[in-house]
Amino acid sequence: MGFAIGDDTTLDVLAMLNRRFGPGGIEEMTRLQEEFGIFSSNHTLEDSFALLGIVPCGFLESNRWFSFLDTLHTYPSDVPKLDGYQRVIAAFKQALVLVPGGTPPLHVTTHLMKDDPRVTFALEGHPLIFTTQSYRILSIPTKPASVAKQEAAKAARDRRAKKAKKK
């Protein structure tokens, strides 16, 4: 998320995702997935999230969110045959399977790209310190906006220096 969308927007989107797929919404989402196959190769991630209303407020931020989702095609994942975009779809499909006794909620979070550049999914974990509730966890690598801006500025300087050398 980082450079692609604003920090406030990232927080808003994560809150929307975690509310929709958390303990209070997972059963409904599981039934919707079973009935309509919202997360599948038949639908883009952008369309799936738009259908569910998981879209930032404002035209500009919505466009940035959808652009960010598209960049997930360039991310690796914890499943070697899947890119990050495909892994997110597969993770939602995996998480939204009816389980006897209740489907565990899904928690969507982020981690530093420099620590692990892959989109990851765990079938069980405890991401929230204030509850003993077990979750499935989808984690997406990000760069803080300030780091991404510094890297972009350095790349631009390097390109200018290389171009000046050629003259």
Residue type at 124 in one-letter notation: E
Cβ neighbour number for residue 122 with a 10 Å cutoff: 14
Distances (CA, A) of 161 to 30, 43, 150, 165: 54, 44, 16, 6
Say how many CA atoms lie within 13 Å of 122 toward its Cβ. 12
The overall pTM is greater than 0.85? yes
Q: What tens-digit pLDDT sequence spans the chain (167 residues)?
A: 555 677 788 899 999 999 999 999 999 999 999 999 999 999 999 999 999 999 998 888 899 999 999 999 999 999 999 999 999 999 999 999 988 888 999 999 999 999 999 999 999 999 999 999 999 999 999 987 777 778 778 888 888 888 888 86
